[in-house]
Amino acid sequence: MIDLTDLRKRPSAYQEAAKKKRIAVDVKAFLKLDDERRKFLVSVEEMRATKNKVSKDVPTMKGDAKAKAIAEMKQLSTTLKASEEKLAAIEQEWSMMQLLLPSVPLPNVPVGKDDTENREVRKVGDVTVHPSTLRSDSGQAGLGMTPSTLKDHVTLGTELDIIDIPRGVKVAGARSYFLKGDGARLELAVLLFTLDHLVKKGYTPFLPPLLANWEAMMGTSYFPGGEEQAYAVGVQHRRGEPIESDDAYLIGTSEVSVASYHKDEVLSEEELPKRYCGLSNCFRREAGTYGKDTHGLYRIHQFQKVEQVVLCVNDPEVSAQMHKELLTNAEEVLQALKLPYRIVDVCTGEMGRGQVFKNDIETWMPSRNAYGETHSCSTFYDFQARRLNIKYTTKNGEKKFVHTLNNTCIASPRILIPILEMYQNEDGSVTVPEVLRPYMSGQAVIKRRTQSP
C-alpha cells in the first residue's frame, strides 16, 4: 500500500510506475474516487453531528417545535442511512482499488518488459570448470567429461535412484516428484547448512505456519492479483454437502508468514533491524506456465525454501544496506557450494506491485546451458508495512512504518539442479559438496544404485 499523500502530490509518477510494471490501474480514476469519498465523508459526518445535536435538544423542546424537530430528525435519519450505505460502497471500491496501486521503482531500476531486459551486474565463478575436478577425494571426478557426456539432473537422479518424477506425477499430478534416499538427505543438508549460515549471522529462524489468511496474503502484497498462483483451502464437504469454509491459503514463500509476524504491532527503534529467516514448504500453482520449463525440477508445485525477512527503520540508506546484506548472505551460500552464478538488476516489467528494487541471482545449470533463477532479493520500503500496519516508535517519539525486505537464501529442489549437474563424475556418481558433508554424516559421494528398489 502506498502513501496516499504522496500519490496526491505526484500522480503522474504512480501512473508511470504502473505502466512500467505492466499493472492495469487508472490513477486518475482512483483520485476521482478518492475525492468523491472525502466529500461524501464530510457530508456524512456533518449529518451525524446535526442528528446528535438535535437528539440532545429534543427532550428540552415542547409543542410544535418539538414535533417539527422530531419530523426533521426522522427525515435526516433516512437521508443519513442512504448516505452511509453509499459511503460504504464507495469506501469498499476505494479500498480495493488502493490495493492495486504500485510503488514507484527506484531510479536505477532498468526499464523493460520481461526478464530478457534484466541488467547483468556481475558474474562469479567459471562455468567451464566443474567443482568435482577440484576435489582429490572424489575418485574419477570429472575426468574426461565433456559437454556431450554430461548428464542432466533428471538422468542423474533417476540412475542414482534419488529422484522419482513418474511416481510423483502418479500420486500428485504434473510438476510433482519424489526425492528419496540420498536425494532427500542432500536437500535437507542444503537447507540446514543455509539455516546455520544465517543463524551464525544473527538471524532468528522460524518454522512458520504453512497456511495464511487473506489479510496476510494481502499484507505481503500477493493479493489481490496473485490469487491464481495460490492454493486455496476452500469449502469442506461431508457426504456432498458443504459444512465449512476456510479462509486459508497455502503459502508460496515463508515471507508471507514471517513478514506478517508483527502485524498490527508498534516496535521500538532500538529493536530494529529485525533479522528473521523462515524454513518452510512452499506451494505454487504455476498458473499461466503451461508448457514452460516442464522438464525436471525447475518449475514445480511444491518446494522448500529458506527465506530471509528484514524489518528496519524507515530510511532509504538503511534499506540499501540491508538489501546488500541479504544479497551477500545468499551469495556466500553459493560460493560455499562453489557454484557459478550471476547477479541481475530486475527490470520494471518483472517487478511486483510493491517492490522498489529487486535483484535476482541466477545459478549456472549445464543442462540448460544457461543461468537459471534461484534467488530473488527485494526491497519494499514501507509498502508491505502499511498493509500489515507494522510501525515503530522513533527515538523522538514519532511513529513510522518500518521498511521490509526479503531474500531467498536457498530454494530446493531447484538448487539441486546445479549441484547434481556440476558435481557429477564420469562414473555416474555425484560428489557431495564439501560444506554439506557434515549434514550427511560425512558422506563424500552419492553413488549409482546397484539394484532395483
Query: What residues contact 154, with CB distance under 8 A and at least 6 apart?
Result: 163, 165, 295, 296, 297
- Residue range 35-54, pLDDT digits in tens: 999 998 898 888 888 878 87
What is the spatial distance between Cα 44 and Cα 46, in angstroms, rounded to a whole number? Answer: 5
- Residue range 111-157, pLDDT digits in tens: 999 999 999 999 999 988 777 554 444 433 444 456 667 899 999 99
- Residue range 368-390, pLDDT digits in tens: 999 999 999 999 999 999 999 99
Name residue 210's amino acid. Answer: L
Q: Where are the alpha helices (DSSP H) in 200-299?
A: 214-219, 255-259
User: Do you find a cis peptide bond into 413, omega within 30 degrees of 0?
Assistant: yes
Residue 83 annotated among the catalytic residues of the structure? no
The highest-confidence range among 83-87, 134-138, 217-221, by mean pLDDT, is 217-221
Catalytic residue among 175, 378, 414, 429: 414
Average pLDDT over residues 416-421: 96
Tell me the pLDDT band of 450, cut-offs 50, 70 and 90: low
Q: Where are the beta strands (DSSP E) in 50-143?
A: 119-124
Average pLDDT over residues 214-236: 88
Query: What residues contact 127, with CB distance under 8 A and at least 6 apart?
Result: 340, 364, 366
- Residue range 149-198, pLDDT digits in tens: 789 999 999 999 999 999 999 999 999 999 999 999 999 999 999 999 99
* Residue 247, φ and ψ in degrees, nearest 5: -90, 75
Catalytic residue among 255, 331, 373, 421: 373
Catalytic residue among 254, 257, 376, 412: 376
Which of 308, 353, 327 lies closest to 22 in space, CA to CA? 353
What DSSP string describes 70-82? HHHHHHHHHHHHH
Tell me the pLDDT band of 67, cut-offs 50, 70 and 90: confident
Question: What are the CA-CA distances from residue 288 to residues 88, 193, 292, 299, 373 (Å)?
Answer: 35, 33, 9, 12, 18
Residue 404: its H or E element: strand 403-412
Catalytic residue among 37, 299, 437, 448: 299
What is the spatial distance between Cα 366 and Cα 413, in angstroms, rounded to a whole number? Answer: 16
Whole-number percent of the chain with pLDDT over 70:
91
Tell me the pLDDT band of 449, cut-offs 50, 70 and 90: low
Average pLDDT of the chain, as a whole number: 90
Rounded to two decimals, the pTM is 0.89
Catalytic residue among 135, 175, 275, 284: 284
Longest dimension (CA), the chain: 109
Tell me the pLDDT band of 235, cut-offs 50, 70 and 90: low
Note whether 14 and 4 are within 8 A (CB): no
Note whether 99 and 218 are within 8 A (CB): yes
pLDDT value of residue 215: 95
What domains are defined for the chain? 4-98 (1.10.287.40), 115-212+251-446 (3.30.930.10)
Angle of CA points 57, 61, 67, to nearest 5°:
100
pLDDT value of residue 140: 37
Tell me the pLDDT band of 94, cut-offs 50, 70 and 90: very high
In this structure, the number of other CB atoms found within 10 A of the CB of residue 234 comes to 13
Residue 386 annotated among the catalytic residues of the structure? no
Residue 119 annotated among the catalytic residues of the structure? no
Q: Burial letters for 353-362: b for 16+ Cβ neighbours within 10 Å, e otherwise?
A: bbbbbbbbbb
Residue 333 C-alpha cell reads as 551460500
Residue 299 annotated among the catalytic residues of the structure? yes
What is the spatial distance between Cα 222 and Cα 228, in angstroms, rounded to a whole number? Answer: 10
Residue 84 annotated among the catalytic residues of the structure? no
Answer whether residue 319 shows pLDDT above 80: yes
Please report where in the chains the cell 505456519 appears, as a residue.
209
Which of 80, 91, 102 lies closest to 20 in space, CA to CA? 102
pLDDT value of residue 240: 60
